[in-house]
Amino acid sequence: MADKRIMLVSGARPNFMKIAPLLRALDARPGFTTRLVHTGQHYDEDMARSFFRDLGMRPPDVDLEVGSASHGVQTGRIMILFDELLDREEADLVLVVGDVNSTIACALVAVKRGIPVAHVEAGLRSRDRAMPEEINRILTDSISDLLFTTEETAAPNLHAEGIPDSKIHFAGNVMVDTLFHHRAEAAKIALPDVPERFALVTLHRPSNVDDPVNLKRVVSILVQSARTIPLVFPVHPRTAAKLRETGLRETLESTPGVHLLPPSNYLTFVRLLLAAQVVLTDSGGIQEESTALGVPCITLRENTERPITVSEGTNEVCGLDEEKIAHVLAEAVQGRGKSGRVPKLWDGKAAERIVDELTIYFEERS
Ligand code: UD1
């Protein structure tokens, strides 16, 4: 049987840690050749290039260099460029991960050309359709041929949308594969100049940072929290822009105990996670990473698409409820935060299981 050509798509920062173990597992397995296509949704050193280096990934075989734009324009441009790529290069399967605009754009192009699509991290639902990622999740899952899930709550979500069980494979969490692969290496690197005890903060969800009223609330929560424990806050570029526009950056800069950093590369970020007393975040991936490492996590959102991080892990979904956040933060700082346990199949071997399934998929069709 000729090698099956798998085209793996990466778009934005949270995709890189999901693609890395899949690329490694596919390249180690006979019967597959891989093409790594980066759409260029994230493109600079801080948001993209440092990740390829830290994760030991080869540079992309193809970079579509799409750059930033409105959602419609960005998604449309990726579709055009990816369609043109598929005019030039054949693929037996397109593999997409996560929930970013590149995920739906490339899945849609592939499926319209009759190329099977595998979606890794399928079935997560926040039930909040105001989140751009929720739309990307629902649409990508509805057109994918193979749906690989990270937690057991995902399959019922997919069943409810009419997706048959035969397409769904509970594989575990590829982001945790990467975390465990690099944990020891990250533990050895020097910490940036941060206090000995600190809370790690990340924020970039449109609902928190694009709306000036909510951003003001978020900043007031941070100012309040800094009285309990110093905050270390690597600032996402969109958040940085909004903080500047609203003048709120000055508020943070003048608050004792608030340490603003540029976006972190992967290993430095894991180093910070390992050292943090507690995490305050609106990221999906960081809810999972803190659960996998046993670090208490306060999620500054009204909901989560990753409920296992709450039912089994260290996560508490607090919205922008000042009192609740203050209480959970104080508990964590006093060493009484949620300790949780690592969910099923978050064991560092998810990519291997996915490649096993892909092998079976192609064998059944040969
Ligand atoms: C995207 C994803 C989100 C993911 C996040 C992680 C979608 C819908 N959203 O949102 O799910 O959690 O990435 O970061 O796909 N910028 C840079 N350098 C870059 C890329 C972007 O400075 O390499 C700046 C641009 O000015 C841009 C802003 O960051 O305006 C945000 O980028 P954008 O493409 O809008 O995506 P995110 O908000 O990061």
Q: Which residues contact 291 (CB under 8 A, 6 or more apart)?
A: 297, 308, 309, 312, 313, 314, 315, 340, 342, 343, 346
Which band of pLDDT confidence, cut at 50, 70 and 90, is reported for residue 79? very high
Whether residue 277 is predicted with pLDDT greater than 90 in this model: the reply is yes
Contact 4, 32 (CB under 8 A): yes
pLDDT at 356: 98
Q: What's the mean per-residue pLDDT of the chain?
A: 98
Whether residue 9 is predicted with pLDDT greater than 80 in this model: the reply is yes
What are the tokens at 132? 């751009």
For 80-94, write each residue's pLDDT tens digit.
999 999 999 999 999
pLDDT at 302: 97
pLDDT at 99: 98
Which band of pLDDT confidence, cut at 50, 70 and 90, is reported for residue 77? very high
Average pLDDT, integer, range 293-311: 98
Which band of pLDDT confidence, cut at 50, 70 and 90, is reported for residue 161? very high
Candidate from 13, 15, 68 with most ligand 1 atoms within 8 A of CB, to mutate: 68
For the chain, the domains span 4-172+346-364, 185-333
Q: Which CATH superfamily is domain 185-333 in?
A: Glycogen Phosphorylase B; (3.40.50.2000)
For 202-254, write each residue's pLDDT tens digit.
999 999 999 999 999 999 999 999 999 999 999 999 999 999 999 999 999 99
- Please tell me the pTM assigned to this model: 0.97
In the structure, which protein residues have their CB atom closer than 6 angstroms to any atom of ligand 1? 12-14, 41-44, 47-48, 68, 99-101, 132-133, 204, 236-238
Give the CATH number of domain 4-172+346-364; options: 3.30.70.1110, 3.40.50.300, 3.40.50.2000, 1.10.3470.10.
Answer: 3.40.50.2000
Rounded Cα–Cα distance for residues 14 and 124 (Å): 15
- Which 3 state secondary structure label does DSSP give 253? helix
Rounded Cα–Cα distance for residues 163 and 172 (Å): 19
Whether residue 20 is predicted with pLDDT greater than 90 in this model: the reply is yes
pLDDT at 1: 72
Whether residue 292 is predicted with pLDDT greater than 80 in this model: the reply is yes
Distance 49 CA to ligand 1 centre (A): 14
Candidate from 70, 100, 264 with most ligand 1 atoms within 8 A of CB, to mutate: 100
Please check whether the two domains, 4-172+346-364 and 185-333, share a CATH topology: yes
For 307-354, write each residue's pLDDT tens digit.
999 999 999 999 999 999 999 999 999 999 999 999 999 999 999 999
204 is catalytic: yes
pLDDT at 159: 98
Which band of pLDDT confidence, cut at 50, 70 and 90, is reported for residue 180? very high
Average pLDDT, integer, range 117-124: 99
